[in-house]
């Protein structure tokens, strides 16, 4: 394979010498040192967590000519990346291979040599516990790992979605207590929060052209973050501090959660009114050129943010004697949608001449949304679990983006494999019910409509099927 030209391209929209702002004479010596190294691309970038957020960020810095080190405790992922094997669908395989071959991008499972890193980005998971309590343990572990490697002229940027106060109340104390005694946070080492803005499967908005927000613990920390991010992103919006940046990220995702919940609740109402479709109603409302943004119903919300963020906000709200009733209710509506879908599937099977324990259900799409392979907190998890609990005899799945799929089986974290099948007319006919959970473009809607005996469509994926005989087989979520 011919290695692509990876000389750093001109930074369109990014002024030379970084993101000009604070006069260098006014900056601490450590800040001036960092700015000089960023401006000359001599700075080394460290990215902790090489998933959907971390690897695109690391690749962007490497593309711009920076030596970039990725740290991930998953040794299989590290080995794959160091072999030039790209595992993120949104990134170009040849580009990743080329960056690895030039040495600009490399991965490791340890923090040795961390004192050579100038800018640390923490892109680790922020899950919730079984009781929906925020779990900052990954942030704490990553912070403790880099703390011994701190030196003057370094910047630490937390990018993991979290509750307001995490940067100042969790990360800062660890850096101060476990870092070298002679370093002062804000003068020698700088700390900030800049939330990730990654939309898996979005070809238009990438790491490079999506504006970002940044807030440092000090004005200089904010400026250093703007300067560092400005090496790869033209539009960096700064806020007063980490809390504002952390809250901004929660607002982005809770905004979507609340509006999806509204669409889901209205969809359930429309199902009770003969001839009324929520999909038609939303499309009609979307013709209004102001004051409205379309959100559509679905089988539930998934991914790494929207199902979790309301719980992160609820935690910090309770510490301030405040109840996020509206937001919590919206999250509950979305969390109940898989149960609503399962009820529709069971009702569909009841119309077939088969007992529930002898019925077979095909789940089409186990990713959390269409055209991606990301299965984190996918609605398919709960749908399959509930179908099993109802006694459905056989459950299989087809997903062109997901080769193997496991779902939680118990409270102890154990998982069980779900059989994968090819999508053929024979396979469709062998299943009493097919439920469309993710609307992948690679799935032929007419193939499904013509051969599946009964279909529960949670995404309006079969919208283009207008044959009345075929429409009779389709139960559309949100349509009466």
The partner residues of 107 in beta bridges, in order of sequence, read 70
Query: Has 123 been annotated as catalytic?
Result: no
Are the CB atoms for 236 and 208 separated by under 8 Å? no
Q: Tokens representing 302?
A: 């998934």
Q: Tokens representing 148?
A: 């011994």
Are the CB atoms for 381 and 408 separated by under 8 Å? yes
Out of 267, 305, 456, 476, the active site residue is: 305
Q: Backbone phi, then psi, for 10, in 5-degree steps?
A: -60, 140
Residues 285-307: b if buried by 16+ CB within 10 A, e if exposed: eeeeeeeeeebbbbbbbbbbbbb
CA pair distance 432, 454, nearest whole angstrom: 6
Q: Tokens representing 14?
A: 């990014």
CA pair distance 97, 475, nearest whole angstrom: 45
CA pair distance 34, 118, nearest whole angstrom: 7
The partner residues of 416 in beta bridges, in order of sequence, read 407
Q: What does the chain come to in residues?
A: 480
Q: Backbone phi, then psi, for 250, in 5-degree steps?
A: -65, -40
Q: Which CB contacts under 8 angstroms, 24+ apart, belong to 60-65?
A: 60/207, 60/208, 60/232, 61/231, 61/232, 62/99, 62/104, 62/105, 63/6, 63/8, 63/9, 63/95, 63/99, 63/104, 63/232, 64/8, 64/9, 64/11, 64/231, 64/232, 65/7, 65/8, 65/41, 65/104
Q: Backbone phi, then psi, for 369, in 5-degree steps?
A: -155, 175
Query: Which has the closest alpha carbon to 71: 7, 8, 6, 143?
Result: 143
Which residues are identified as catalytic? 305
């Amino acid at each position: 394979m011919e290695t692509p030209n990876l000389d750093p391209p001109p930074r369109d929209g990014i002024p030379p010498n970084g993101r000009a702002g604070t006069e260098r004479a006014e900056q601490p010596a450590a800040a001036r040192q960092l700015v000089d190294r960023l401006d000359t691309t001599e700075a080394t970038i460290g990215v902790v967590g090489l998933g959907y957020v971390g690897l695109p960020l690391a690749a962007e810095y490497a593309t711009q000519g920076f030596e970039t080190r990725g740290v991930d405790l998953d040794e299989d992922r590290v080995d794959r990346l160091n072999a030039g094997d790209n595992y993120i669908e949104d990134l170009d395989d040849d580009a990743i291979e080329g960056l690895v071959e030039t040495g600009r991008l490399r991965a490791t499972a340890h923090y040795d040599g961390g004192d050579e890193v100038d800018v640390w980005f923490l892109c680790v998971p922020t899950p919730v516990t079984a009781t929906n309590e925020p779990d900052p343990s990954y942030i704490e572990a990553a912070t403790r790992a880099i703390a011994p490697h701190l030196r003057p002229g370094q910047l630490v940027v937390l990018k993991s979605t979290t509750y307001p106060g995490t940067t100042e109340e969790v990360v800062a104390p660890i850096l101060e207590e476990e870092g070298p005694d002679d370093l002062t946070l804000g003068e020698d080492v700088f700390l900030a929060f800049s939330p990730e803005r990654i939309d898996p499967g979005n070809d238009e908005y990438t790491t490079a052209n999506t504006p970002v927000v940044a807030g440092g613990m000090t004005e200089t920390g904010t400026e250093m973050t703007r300067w560092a991010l400005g090496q790869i992103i033209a539009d960096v919006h700064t806020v007063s501090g980490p809390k504002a940046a952390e809250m901004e990220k929660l607002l982005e995702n809770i905004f979507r959660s609340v509006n999806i919940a509204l669409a889901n609740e209205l969809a359930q109402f429309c199902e009770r009114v003969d001839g009324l479709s929520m999909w038609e109603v939303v499309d009609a409302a979307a013709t209004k050129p102001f004051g409205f943004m379309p959100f559509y119903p679905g089988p539930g919300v998934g991914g790494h943010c929207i199902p979790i963020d309301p719980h992160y906000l609820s935690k910090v709200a309770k510490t301030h004697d405040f109840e996020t009733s509206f937001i919590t209710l919206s999250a509950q509506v979305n969390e109940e949608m898989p149960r609503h879908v399962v009820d529709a599937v069971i009702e569909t099977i009841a119309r077939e001449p088969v007992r529930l324990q002898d019925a077979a259900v095909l789940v089409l799409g186990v990713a959390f949304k269409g055209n991606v392979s990301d299965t984190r907190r996918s609605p398919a998890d709960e749908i399959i679990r509930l179908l099993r609990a109802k006694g459905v005899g056989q459950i299989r799945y087809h997903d062109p983006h997901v080769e193997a799929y496991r779902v939680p089986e118990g409270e102890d974290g154990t998982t069980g494999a779900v059989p994968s099948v090819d999508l053929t007319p024979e396979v469709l006919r062998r299943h009493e019910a097919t439920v469309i959970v993710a609307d992948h473009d690679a799935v032929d809607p007419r193939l499904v409509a013509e051969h599946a005996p009964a279909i529960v469509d949670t995404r309006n994926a079969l919208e283009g099927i207008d044959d009345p005989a075929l429409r009779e087989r389709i139960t559309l979520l949100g349509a009466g």
